[in-house]
Amino acid sequence: MWKRPILFFVIFTVSALTAAAQSTQWKQLFNGKNLIGWKHVGPGTMVVEDGLIKTQGGMGLLYWTGEKVGNCVLRVVFKMQRKNDNSGVFIRIPIEPREEWMPVHYGYEVQIYEAGDDYHRTGALYSLTQALARPAKPPGEWNTMEITLDGPRTIVVLNGVKVTDYIEGQAVPERKSNSEPQRGPRPLRGYFGLQNHPREDKQDSQVHFKEVAVKPLPKQ
């Protein structure tokens, strides 16, 4: 008389575990063929060639239009062709951007750039946090960046090494130039995107992206 309830419990448990596992899997946002689901604002552009997103000109932003994200991990796999190539991953943008400077001042830029100081180095929140390490790989090699948005906390891990661990409200340096972001809180959920940005010598940066994915944090 106990067989059916036990069998039902086992089936229910397996189904629940399967659903939970599926809900925390990576969702690929770049299909390797085109930029469906993405939109570009500002100068320059992004193109898809050889299965990669490639930066051209700038300064502009390619952002994901599907939804705002929060309580998740963003994974971006990229490589720079030269040491002073410049780009970034913008996060916590409160509304869909209509021009290139709005995300700078109302979101955060997770820097991609290896010619600056530790406040402007790959994996730091641009001009706000000091990079805890320098694990970026040389030009031409692929880097894996994982950005965790956990409520008010932002964690950046580059090639398996933590570079940033910031909580809203922590002290940050004073703003030093108009190109640096306005200080202040950012939303828990927001849009995100990839930046195209010229080099200091005004030539196009050559930053390539082969994967952009998102995975929700496990529910506690």
Range name among 95-99, 111-115, 196-200 with the lowest pLDDT average: 196-200
H or E element: which one contains 54?
A: strand 52-56
Averaged pLDDT for residues 96-107: 96
pLDDT at 6 over 60: no
Cα–Cα distance list, 40 to 19, 50, 93, 97 (Å): 34, 20, 14, 9
Q: For the chain, which residues make up each domain, given as ranges?
A: 28-216
24 — pLDDT class (breaks 50, 70, 90)? confident
pLDDT at 53 over 90: yes
101 — pLDDT class (breaks 50, 70, 90)? very high
pLDDT the model gives residue 10:
41
Tokens standing for 194? 């990839």
What secondary structure letter does DSSP report for 7? H
Which residues face 47 on adjacent strands? 54
Name residue 133's amino acid.
Answer: A
- Place domain 28-216 in its CATH homologous superfamily: Exo-inulinase; domain 1 (2.60.120.560)
Distance (Å, whole) CA 31 – CA 182: 34
46, 63 in Cβ contact below 8 A?
A: no
168, 186 in Cβ contact below 8 A?
A: yes
23 — pLDDT class (breaks 50, 70, 90)? low
pLDDT at 201 over 80: no
pLDDT at 73 over 80: yes
